[in-house]
Chains A and B, each alone.
Chain A
Amino acid sequence: MGRRVAIVGTGQTYHKSHRPDVTSREMIREAVVAALADADLTIKDIDAVVIGNMDHFESINYVDTYSVEGSGAFMKPVMKVSTGGTTGSTVAIAAYYHVASGLFDRVLAVGFEKNSESDTTAAIITCSDPVWDRFSYSGAIPSLATEATAYMEKYGATQEDAAMVGERDRGHALNNPYAHLRRPLTVADIMASPMLAYPIKLGDICPRSDGACAVILAADGIAQKIASRPAWFKAVSVRHTYTWFGDSTDYNKGLVSLQRASREAYAQAGIKNPVEEIDVAELYLPYTWAGLKWIEDLGFCGPGEAARFVGDGNTHMGGKLPVNPSGGVLSTNCIGATALLRVAEAAIQIMGKGGKRQVPDVKTALATGFGGCFWSDVVILSAVRP
C-alpha cells in the first residue's frame, strides 16, 4: 500500500487551434506557472517532474530535456512518459506512483501538444505494428468508425443519438474559458457536417489543438498544508491491450480495457453504483459515439441504454452524473495534454474551482484516458482523504 496522494494545484493554457506566439516549451511554461500559482508554490518546491506528449507529433524525441525551460525540471529528476492518447492520464498516474512510493513529496505532472506543427494522422500511424496493421488498418478515425458501426448494428443506435453527445460537450465548453472550440454545435449541425468515414462526420470528431496542462501532486501530510481542499487519489487503473487490432478489439464486447480498468478502480474506491456514487465524470471521448458506448462500458447504464440515458439529460449539467463540464475532448484536444486535462478538470471539480463549469458539491470525480489500440486509464479522485 502506497502513501496517500492528492492533487493540490492545476494549470492549463487557453487552448487554440495554433499558438504561433510560443514554442512548445514556452507553452508548457504557461501551464506550469499557472499550476504553481494555483498551489501557491514555487518551482523550488517541486521534487520531480513527469512529462509526456505524443511520439513524433513535434519531432522532438528527448522531450524531458527539451522542455526543461518550460517545466522547470533543471537539475531535477525528470521522466518522459508517452503512451499514445492515454499519455496525459499515464503521466498523472506515473506522478501518483512517484509520490505514493514515498520517494518524492511534491511532483509536477505535465502534458502538452502542438498539433498545429505536424500531420496528426501521419504521426499517429506509428502506433500500429510496422509489419502488419500499419498497412491494412491505420489512423484514428477508421478504427473508431468501425467500432461505431458495430455498436449501431447491435443496438440500433442512430447518428442523431451520437450527435447528442457532441451537442452536449460543445454546449458545456461555453462555460470553460480555456476550451478551444467555444461555439455551440447542434445535432443538426453535426448531421449536416461532411462524412469522413461512416458514421463519423466532421462534427462527430475531436479537433486538433495546441495546449498544455500541469498538475501538482503532494503526499499526505503535505497536501493538506498546500491546498484547503485537496483532490485525493482514491483509485488508479491502467489496462492496455495489444497491437493486433483484429483481436484486441472485439467491438461486440465493448471497450474491454475500459470495462476492466473501471471495475478495478471502482473496487479500489469501494464504488458499487457509479451513477449514484460519482458526482462528475471527465471522460476521454474523442468522438461522439464514445459518449454512448463507453459510458455503458463504465457501467453508467446497461448495454444499449446509452442513447436514452444521454437523451434524458442524465449526463448534462444539472443531471444525475454530469459528463465533461469542461467541454471534453470534442472541444479541446491537445493530445498529450488531453487525458491530463481530464484528471485536472476532475480535480478542479473536487477543489471547487470550476467557476461557471462547476458542478455543485462534488465529492467523487472520475477521469478517464483512452489511447492507441483501444486501451484505457481510469482515475478516481475524492474530496475525502482515503
Chain B
Amino acid sequence: MTDWLREVEPLTLKGQIAVPYTWWAGDTASRFFTALRDEGKILGTRCPECRKVFVPARRSCSRCFVEMDQWVELPPEGVVEAFTIVRYAHPIQPAEPPFAYVLVKLDGADVSFLHIVKKDLQDLGVGRRVRAVFKEKRDGHILDIDAFEPVGEH
C-alpha cells in the first residue's frame, strides 16, 4: 500500500447498470406453477430410465439425458433432510429472521425440495416430518407455499 492512500480518499467512479430480466417459465415450469396456484398441488416428473421422481417438475433428467413426460402428484408432506436456522436479515431472503431453510424429501420423491420453515423452529430436526402450508391467494410462484411446518409428535 502506497503512503498517499493514508492521506486522501481514493477516487472511485460509481455506476449502476439496470438490466431488466423477464425469464420465460416454459411449458414444464408453467404446468408446475399453475397446478400450485389453481389446485394447491405439488407436481414432479419421473424419469422413464432411472425411475427417479424429481420435484419441482422438470423437462429432462440430467443424469439420463431423456425427456420426462410422466407427471407425478406429490403429497405436501415429507421429511427434513437438512436445515439451517437463519438469524440475520437480508433483503434477498424470503422471510424475516429467525426462519429456517429446509431440504424436504417429499413422500415419493427422490430429491429434496427447497423451502422454508417460519414457525415452531425449536421442533425442527433432521428426520422431522413437515407439511406445506399454502397461501390463500396464490399467483403461480414457489412462495405460493407460504412455508412448511412441523407436524405430528416430535
> Does chain A bind chain B?
yes
CA distance A114 to B21 in the complex (A): 11
Beta-carbon contact of B19 and A119 below 8 Å:
yes
Beta-carbon contact of B29 and A23 below 8 Å:
yes
For B1, what are the chain A residues with a Cβ–Cβ distance below 8 Å?
none
CA distance A272 to B20 in the complex (A): 48
CB distance from A380 to the nearest CB of B (A): 32
CB distance from B54 to the nearest CB of A (A): 10
Given contacts A26-B59, A74-B63, contact A20 B19 (CB under 8 A): no
Q: Which of A29, A68, A117, A130 is close to B23, meaning CB atoms less than 8 Å apart? A: A117
CA distance A130 to B29 in the complex (A): 37
Beta-carbon contact of A123 and B23 below 8 Å:
no
CA distance A237 to B24 in the complex (A): 36
Beta-carbon contact of A69 and B21 below 8 Å:
no
Instruction: Considering the complex, give the chain A residue whose CB is closest to the CB of B13.
Output: A131
CA distance A123 to B18 in the complex (A): 8
CB distance from B30 to the nearest CB of A (A): 9
CA distance A72 to B66 in the complex (A): 10
CA distance A56 to B63 in the complex (A): 27
CA distance A22 to B23 in the complex (A): 10
Instruction: Considering the complex, give the chain B residue whose CB is closest to the CB of A36.
Output: B65
Q: Which of B17, B59, B62 is close to A68, meaning CB atoms less than 8 Å apart? A: B62
Interface size classification for chain B = 20 to 34
For A20, what are the chain B residues with a Cβ–Cβ distance below 8 Å?
24, 26
Q: Which of B15, B24, B60 is close to A117, meaning CB atoms less than 8 Å apart? A: B24
Instruction: Considering the complex, give the chain A residue whose CB is closest to the CB of B19.
Output: A122
CA distance A43 to B60 in the complex (A): 13
Given contacts A123-B19, A126-B17, A130-B13, contact A19 B24 (CB under 8 A): yes
CA distance A305 to B23 in the complex (A): 45
Total A-B Cβ pairs within 8 A: 64
Chain A 119-143 interface mask (CB, 8 Å, partner B; 1/0): 1001101100011001000000000
Q: Is A175 interfacial (CB-CB < 8 Å)?
A: no
Given contacts A22-B27, A130-B13, A131-B13, contact A117 B65 (CB under 8 A): no
Q: Is A116 interfacial (CB-CB < 8 Å)?
A: yes
Beta-carbon contact of A69 and B23 below 8 Å:
no
CA distance A119 to B24 in the complex (A): 14
Instruction: Considering the complex, give the chain B residue whose CB is closest to the CB of A134.
Output: B15
CA distance A30 to B63 in the complex (A): 16
CA distance A134 to B17 in the complex (A): 11
CB distance from A240 to the nearest CB of B (A): 23
B91-121 at interface with A (beta carbon < 8 Å): none
CA distance A312 to B25 in the complex (A): 48
For A130, what are the chain B residues with a Cβ–Cβ distance below 8 Å?
13, 15
Beta-carbon contact of A69 and B59 below 8 Å:
yes
Q: Is A268 interfacial (CB-CB < 8 Å)?
A: no
CA distance A59 to B21 in the complex (A): 8
For B17, what are the chain A residues with a Cβ–Cβ distance below 8 Å?
122, 125-126
> B residues touching A (Cβ–Cβ < 8 Å)?
13, 15, 17-29, 58-63, 65
Q: List 20 A-B contacts (CB under 8 A).
A: A19-B24, A20-B24, A21-B26, A21-B27, A23-B29, A26-B59, A59-B21, A69-B59, A69-B60, A69-B61, A74-B63, A74-B65, A117-B21, A119-B19, A119-B20, A122-B18, A122-B19, A122-B20, A123-B19, A125-B17
> A residues touching B (Cβ–Cβ < 8 Å)?
18-23, 26, 29, 42-43, 56, 58-59, 68-70, 72, 74, 114, 116-119, 122-123, 125-126, 130-131, 134
Smallest CB-CB A-B distances: 4 pairs: A43-B65, A122-B19, A23-B26, A22-B26
